[in-house]
Structure 1
């Protein structure tokens, strides 16, 4: 998915080795026409409005392959690694999400989140190809299409960023596995056209509140709200921005089961309840 990143796309799209579905979130910078002209082999799906991460769900529905690899307008999979990742998915039928190693920038720094995923306290179950996860980074993930769609994909409530948490919780609830696989690589060259850090913190705070309302027990919802209020600034603004979507979040409320909650607590290093 992309929005108003025309130049980034014209640089990154030719790097992809597999057929590409670009879902454009109502760009106003001529992205759709530019990509269609320069890269006619790319399937472009223009959205009438910005739907955030739900655009990825639109793209997955359009695809007909058993596996779909996500990439942002400033990321791409290393040569040969799409095929390698698909082979790993085929060999591990419980695997719903494969998170690749992410190298950042021309200097190819390992994204710190990869170190966290590699050290996951959930261990490595025998039916998964790497450390088990309860989350992932969308720009570096391959998903099993049927599993992704069965739990609803990304939703229109959380939108972006922070959209991965609710989806990961639902996949875990349904018995699917997620794993970090260091043998495949995604390159991420962050765009210069990025939101300011404070704006991103606001958006993430909003996502945390709405995800908590949809899936976490009431005490955890309270902790998220109190944390945003105490932190103040962008986090408090995120709480305020979540308010219009609270009714939609509550309509979708399905608290996670105890087993998944136990894994959440383990990852957060919380004491047992």
Structure 2
């Protein structure tokens, strides 16, 4: 998916093996026309409004392959990784999502989340190819199409950033396995011009909304308390979460006990927010 990022696409699109579906989130910079002109083999889907992360759902529904690899407009997969991912899905029928190692920037520094996934305390199930995880980076993930659609894909409650969390929980709730495999590699070259406070606030807002949708009320209230007593980003997160609460409550469904227990185990190994 993309929105107003033609310069990034011009660099990343040549690195993607076919077939490629590009979902344009109502760009105003002529992205769709430019892609069609310079990359005629790419299937372009133009949305009438910005759907955020849920734009990926459109692409998955359009896909005609059993597995779908995600990429941001500033990321691409290393040669051979997608073929290896497809082989893993074929040999592991319960595998619903595989998360790869994401290398950031020209220095190719591993994203810190990948280190956490590689050492996941959830262990490795005998029928999965790597450590079990309950989170992932979308630009470094490949999904089994049927599993993704069964779990309703990404939702519009969080809109963007941290949208992976609820999907991971719902895949696990339906019995699908999620694994980290270090040999699968995605390269991510994000723009350095980012508002750190705004991004922290957005991340915190979406963690709270995900908790409202799936976690016990005690967890939700704990998140509210932590955010209220933290810094400016935390209070911004609370304020911005309020308009989305009705939508989150409408989608509320408690996790199975085994998935909630796994999420709590992971939380004991996470850095506190704020």
Equivalent in the alignment of 2:29? 29
Distance, in Å, in 2 between the alignment partners of 1:240 and 1:48 is 28
Equivalent in the alignment of 1:100? 100
| C-alpha contact 1:130 1:179 (8 A) present in aligned 2 | yes
Equivalent in the alignment of 1:157? 157
Cα-to-partner distance string for 1:33-80 (whole Å, 9 max, x where unaligned): 111111011111111111111001111011121100000011100112
Equivalent in the alignment of 1:198? 197
> After the TM superposition, which segments of 4 or more aligned residues of structure 1 sit over 6 Å from their partners?
none
Distance, in Å, in 1 between the alignment partners of 2:236 and 2:187 is 32
| C-alpha contact 1:8 1:191 (8 A) present in aligned 2 | no
Distance, in Å, in 2 between the alignment partners of 1:163 and 1:259 is 22
Equivalent in the alignment of 1:238? 237
Q: Secondary structure at the match of 1:231?
A: coil
Q: Secondary structure at the match of 2:170?
A: helix
User: What is the TM-score of this pair, normalised by structure 1?
Assistant: 0.96
- Match status 1:261 vs 2:235: no
Distance, in Å, in 1 between the alignment partners of 2:34 and 2:229 is 45
Matches of residues 75-224 of structure 1 in structure 2 within 5 Å?
75-192=75-192, 194-224=193-223
Q: State how many pairs are aligned.
A: 269
Equivalent in the alignment of 1:16? 16
Q: Secondary structure at the match of 1:160?
A: coil
Q: Secondary structure at the match of 1:256?
A: coil
Give the superposed CA RMSD: 1.1
Distance, in Å, in 2 between the alignment partners of 1:30 and 1:99 is 32
| C-alpha contact 1:131 1:180 (8 A) present in aligned 2 | yes
Distance, in Å, in 2 between the alignment partners of 1:266 and 1:76 is 32
Shift of 1:104: 1.3
Q: Secondary structure at the match of 1:142?
A: strand
Distance, in Å, in 1 between the alignment partners of 2:205 and 2:48 is 23
Shift of 1:226: 1.1
Distance, in Å, in 1 between the alignment partners of 2:222 and 2:25 is 33
Shift of 1:191: 2.5
Cα-to-partner distance string for 1:139-182 (whole Å, 9 max, x where unaligned): 10000000000110001111110101111111111111100001
Q: Secondary structure at the match of 2:243?
A: helix
Q: Secondary structure at the match of 2:23?
A: strand
Shift of 1:202: 1.6
Equivalent in the alignment of 2:250? 251
* Runs of at least 5 residues in structure 1 that lack an aligned partner in the other structure: none
Shift of 1:228: 1.2
Distance, in Å, in 1 between the alignment partners of 2:30 and 2:198 is 24
Distance, in Å, in 2 between the alignment partners of 1:169 and 1:188 is 24
Q: Secondary structure at the match of 1:131?
A: coil
- Of the structure 1 ranges 43-52 and 116-125, higher mean CA displacement relative to structure 2 is found in 43-52
Distance, in Å, in 2 between the alignment partners of 1:81 and 1:197 is 31
Distance, in Å, in 1 between the alignment partners of 2:34 and 2:11 is 12
Q: Secondary structure at the match of 1:243?
A: helix
Shift of 1:243: 1.0
Q: Secondary structure at the match of 2:10?
A: helix
